[in-house]
Amino acid sequence: MSTWKQPVSVLVVIHTAALDVLLLERAAHPGFWQSVTGSRERNEDPVETARREVLEETGISTDTGILSDWRIANTYEIFATWRQRYAPGVTHNTEHVFGLCLPARPPILRSPEEHRDHRWLPWQQAAESCFSWSNRDAILLLPEWQKRELKAM
């Protein structure tokens, strides 16, 4: 592979003020529900990656809500099934967590190559639906972060 994925990514928990959370189902892995995720490209800083990935995966401009850097970085082992996308020897990824608080549920324009479906769920149910522990844990922090985000609206 000529262009390897960088082992630096973002996780963006998109939610409403009512704590409904947007989850996307991976096209290549039916039943794997997650928030917006994606790897850094070129020399992007994490907030640039978050803005780009939200737009690419959902059609939502982060300017329509409050994008917050939660200042959480999770390092985890990359699933063996996805390691071929990284340079040889790369086994771990560092994921930066963000929240995007929206005033309402906007229309979602999914990328069919990446996601086959989407749904909005109450935060506790969304956390239970995630296949990723880091995604689950981020959603469980949502009530605390939402208080901060609403102060900024």
- Tens-place pLDDT, residues 21-48: 999 999 989 999 999 999 999 999 999 9
More confident position, 89 or 151: 89
Q: Are 86 and 5 in contact (CB under 8 A)?
A: yes
- Tens-place pLDDT, residues 43-100: 999 999 999 999 999 999 999 999 999 999 999 999 898 899 999 999 999 999 999 9
Average pLDDT over residues 114-131: 97
Average pLDDT over residues 115-141: 97
* pLDDT band for position 152 (cuts 50, 70, 90): low
Closest CA to 84 of 142, 1, 20, 15: 1
What pLDDT is stored for residue 51 in this prediction? Answer: 98
What pLDDT is stored for residue 1 in this prediction? Answer: 45
Sheet strands (E) in 36-138: 36-39, 66-77, 92-102, 115-122
Question: Is 134's pLDDT higher than 80?
Answer: yes
Question: Is 111's pLDDT higher than 90?
Answer: no
Q: What domains, with CATH codes, occur in the chain?
A: 8-152 (3.90.79.10)
